[in-house]
Amino acid sequence: MWLFLGIIFSLGMLIPGKHSLKLQYDGDQVFHVVPETFQQVQHLQHLCSTLLLDLWKPQLSEDIWAGEDLHIRVPAPLVQEVKDSLDQHMISYKVLIPDVQELVDQRVPKERSSHRQVPEGYVYTQYHPMEEIYQWMTQIQESNSELVTQHYLGTTVENRTMYYLQISQPSDKAKKIIWMDCGIHAREWISPAFCQWFVKEILQNYKSDPKISRFLQNLDLYVLPVLNIDGYIYSWEKDRLWRKNRSPHMNGTCYGTDLNRNFNSSWGSIGVSYNCSSEIFCGSGPESEPETRAVAQLIEKKKSDILCYLTIHSYGQYILTPYGSTTEPPSNSEELMDVAKKAAAALQGKYGTSYKVGSTSLILYSNSGSSRDWAHTIGIPFSYTFELRDQGTHGFILPPEQIQPTCEETMLAVTTIIDYVDQKYFPDGAVMLTSSSLGLSLCLSVVLIWTLS
């Protein structure tokens, strides 16, 4: 009976909405458990598997370990049964979120303005649906046409257009690229919020901030505000906790591929599922999803110029380095770690928020097919995953009042990394000379010598 209820309620409860059915999570709770013994681990793995509980951290029951945090969403009809089971096995727990739906209702804006928001009036301290983000991208380009261009990247499963923004100071000098994407997982709303904040801060401060001014002389910024557009829209309209894209599988009986298990880096080898109902379903093959292919094709084309690949997620407060599929460190592991530690220190300096730093496989869990690992394996030297706030108090449902502090501190970390990359490849603010600039330099030298003689 409980297995049947687990299947029904692990997906939330469907209730009629004004225009469509919308998943509700009334009475669902999120538990925080730290198992102490191997026997407790075994019981928790059995409980999660048989009741099909929604694991928020880690994503696989096999990754439950003694002494490590476990966050699980328990559907309302199973809450008492799970509590009794934990008590019987003397497993301590605390309730992180006493009512998931109540938290969702508090965080989703009830009314949205029908008026188009101009960049000057755009509210960066609230979450925006995809329609508004599309409008923002167009308007940010129009208002900053000397610096920003919007480029077509590809189309999604549901045939929506993917665009990225390129921030580039006009120059005849050859420049390198920093890539940043947000929103690969639909429910992680703080991620697209940060990409928008990042663009705003660069455009507002590049003339007055010497660090930004310097690295924009040498580096172009490519920003993809929402990678998983279909999933993001679905998380607004149907299911706040949706993670994957919206590709249909098994004749439409289940939907979605985890795009961060779909890249061609040790694809399907560890930390994934081949069950299309799973949150970490890796797809039918590497780059099986159009969103993954769109990103991969652009990055492959530009890889000789890309110095740094940043992908923004939530939650947990981590800066993660390659690799997730092996504990064997990359060749530049020491440098990757040093830079990440500097970034975490800069972040902590703002509000005291503490981030863990390390490779995914060593400090979080094993996974394969991630964009971060793939980027590093094709030759991009600096590749990081950010897992933003918090550590589970709100989880994926981070309140809007935390957008600003989260973005402010993350901005410090990201610009620390970009500044390091800039100074490494362009020491003393030097820029690579093109033939025209080299010719001008030689002419000036000849004139100077002639004058002095």
Q: Which two tokens stand for residue 338?
A: 């040093």
Residue the block writes with tokens 């991630």? 370
The phi, psi pair for 270, rounded to 5°, reads -160, 150
Crossing angle of the two packed helices 79-88 and 38-50, in degrees rounded to 10: 160
Q: How far apart are CA 15 and CA 184, in angstroms?
A: 27
The phi, psi pair for 208, rounded to 5°, reads -100, -25
Q: Coil, strand or helix: which one is 138?
A: helix
Rounded to 5°, the CA angle 182-391-14 comes to 70
Q: How far apart are CA 245 and CA 228, in angstroms?
A: 6
Catalytic: which of 132, 279, 387, 409?
387
Q: Which two tokens stand for residue 307?
A: 């110095």
**Alpha helix (H) ranges present in 303-358?**
333-351
Q: How far apart are CA 382 and CA 333, in angstroms?
A: 10
Q: Which residues pair with 287 in a beta bridge?
A: none
In b/e form, how buried is each residue of 274-284, taking b as 16+ CB within 10 angstroms?
A: eebbbbbbbbe
* Catalytic residue list contains 387: yes
**What amino acid positions are annotated as catalytic residues?**
387
